[in-house]
């Protein structure tokens, strides 16, 4: 990881306090709108007995919903180790700890050893500088779907991300957020033999599902 993305750079932002905040939000309101859209689409395609691989799954809220919707198991690869206490408690509370394996590391570095029916990148592409590397890793590990959410390429969103990055710079934080070009994301998927089968969007986010054709 010499050229990018130290775990400590991620753990500075995606820390235990952030994990507690995500848990409160999930327990109060359930999944965010984009996460719900991805789970609903994946469920409509049939999750029973499917294996799932998630990159950057945070506290594991999506993992809970996918298992509840019929998925057999999930492997999560997360750069920040700071979510683990909250995630472990959440999965135990839901009675599904034995169906979720959580690993710490850069997904792009381990994806070649992993395979699953469906791969999920929910709000992760925006947190990694190398969109193509992430997408290609996800697609190489997936035998069926890759479900992803990423920011919309709009001035208002780009301005917000630029302000957030300015704040990270002021406090000398290593982390930066990215609005990767959605057309380039689709082009990368196509280059790997995947087509778009679902697209949804709200004010700030795109939710897209790609399928191996
Ligand atoms: C905005 S958070 C989203 C967490 C969760 N998916 C959610 O929506 O609540 C982005 C997460 O992606 C993780 N991440 C970014 N790039 C990653 C990579 N290459 N491999 C594994 N995790 C990554 C970060 O550590 C962070 O926890």
pLDDT in tens, 133-183: 999 999 999 999 999 999 999 999 999 999 999 999 999 999 999 999 999
Does the Cβ of 42 fall within 6 Å of ligand 1? Answer: no
> In this predicted structure, which of 9-13, 53-57, 199-203, 208-212 has the lowest mean pLDDT?
9-13
Does the Cβ of 26 fall within 6 Å of ligand 1? Answer: no
pLDDT at 34: 98
Does the Cβ of 34 fall within 6 Å of ligand 1? Answer: no
Dihedral class, residue 49 (left if φ above 0, else alpha if ψ from -120 to 50, else beta):
left
pLDDT mean over 112-127 = 97
pLDDT at 5: 75
pLDDT at 43: 98
Does the Cβ of 10 fall within 6 Å of ligand 1? Answer: yes
pLDDT at 12: 85
pLDDT at 9: 84
- pLDDT band per the 50, 70, 90 thresholds, residue 8: confident
Angle 72-103-210 from CA coordinates, rounded to 5°: 55
Beta carbons of 56 and 105 less than 8 angstroms apart: no
Does the Cβ of 22 fall within 6 Å of ligand 1? Answer: yes
pLDDT in tens, 45-92: 999 999 999 999 999 999 999 999 999 999 999 999 999 999 999 999
Task: List the residue whose alpha carbon is closest to atom 13 of ligand 1.
Answer: 56
Centre of ligand 1 from the C-alpha of residue 94, in Å: 22
Task: Say whether pLDDT at 4 is over 70.
Answer: no
Tokens encoding 12? 């500075």
Distances 55 to 147, 154, 160 between C-alpha atoms, Å: 11, 25, 24
pLDDT in tens, 20-29: 999 999 999 9
Centre of ligand 1 from the C-alpha of residue 80, in Å: 8
């Amino acid at each position: 990881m010499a050229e990018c993305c130290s775990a400590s750079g991620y753990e500075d932002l995606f820390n235990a306090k952030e994990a507690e905040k995500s848990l409160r939000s999930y327990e109060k309101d359930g999944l965010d709108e984009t996460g719900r859209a991805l789970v609903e689409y994946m469920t409509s395609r049939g999750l029973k007995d499917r294996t799932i691989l998630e990159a950057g799954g945070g506290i594991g809220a999506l993992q809970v919903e996918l298992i509840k919707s019929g998925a057999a198991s999930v492997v999560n690869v997360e750069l920040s180790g700071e979510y683990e206490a909250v995630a472990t408690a959440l999965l135990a509370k839901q009675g599904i700890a034995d169906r979720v394996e959580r690993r710490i590391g850069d997904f792009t570095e381990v994806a070649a050893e992993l395979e699953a029916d469906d791969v999920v990148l929910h709000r992760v592409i925006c947190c990694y500088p190398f969109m193509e590397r992430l997408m290609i890793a996800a697609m190489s590990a997936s035998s069926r779907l890759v479900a992803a959410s990423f920011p919309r390429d709009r001035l208002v969103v780009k301005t917000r991300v630029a302000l957030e990055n300015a704040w990270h710079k002021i406090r000398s934080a290593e982390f930066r957020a990215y609005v990767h070009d959605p057309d380039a994301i689709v082009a990368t998927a196509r280059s790997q033999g995947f087509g778009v089968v679902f697209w949804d969007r709200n004010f700030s986010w795109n939710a897209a599902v790609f399928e191996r054709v």
